[in-house]
């Protein structure tokens, strides 16, 4: 408990000091100016967890194709994304069983909350 109190006091001290620096316009005092270039396309890094057997399969295939692991994974992900988009544009979408169940639940909810509509003229004439 004493450690938490000390941390809170230190945090408060830092907050007060920074507020004072902002008030006086000296928040960048003691900082070193650097010249840097930032890449136009910085990209994104994404972490993915694989089980050991999955990783062995992926590494083996990357080796067979003579590709670095990161290149192999990136290409496989992009290929799946592009082929999925193409299939969706054709009106074809493959869903995993869990995705199918989620979709069916959502449809049931929409149908259950949809107000009843009057029959169309065509239906009434029959």
Whether 93 shows a pLDDT value over 70: the answer reads no
For 94, residues 6+ apart whose C-beta sits below 8 A from its C-beta are 84, 87
**What's the whole-number average pLDDT of the chain?**
79
Comparing 10-19, 56-65, 88-97, 102-111, the range with the smallest average pLDDT is: 88-97
Whether 120 shows a pLDDT value over 60: the answer reads no
Under 8 Å between Cβ of 98 and 91: no
Whether 114 shows a pLDDT value over 70: the answer reads no
Average pLDDT in the 95-102 region?
A: 74
């Amino acid at each position: 408990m004493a450690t938490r109190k000390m941390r809170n006091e230190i945090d408060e001290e830092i907050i007060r000091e920074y507020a004072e620096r902002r008030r006086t316009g000296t928040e960048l005092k003691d900082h070193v100016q650097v010249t840097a270039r930032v890449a136009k396309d910085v990209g994104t890094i994404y972490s993915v967890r694989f089980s050991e057997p999955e990783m062995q399969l992926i590494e083996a295939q990357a080796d067979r194709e003579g590709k670095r692991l990161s290149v192999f994974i990136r290409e496989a992900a992009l290929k799946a994304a592009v082929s999925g988009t193409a299939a969706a544009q054709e009106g074809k979408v493959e869903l995993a069983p869990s995705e199918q169940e989620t979709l069916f639940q959502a449809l049931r909810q929409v149908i259950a909350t949809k107000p009843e509509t009057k029959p169309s003229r065509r239906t009434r004439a029959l």
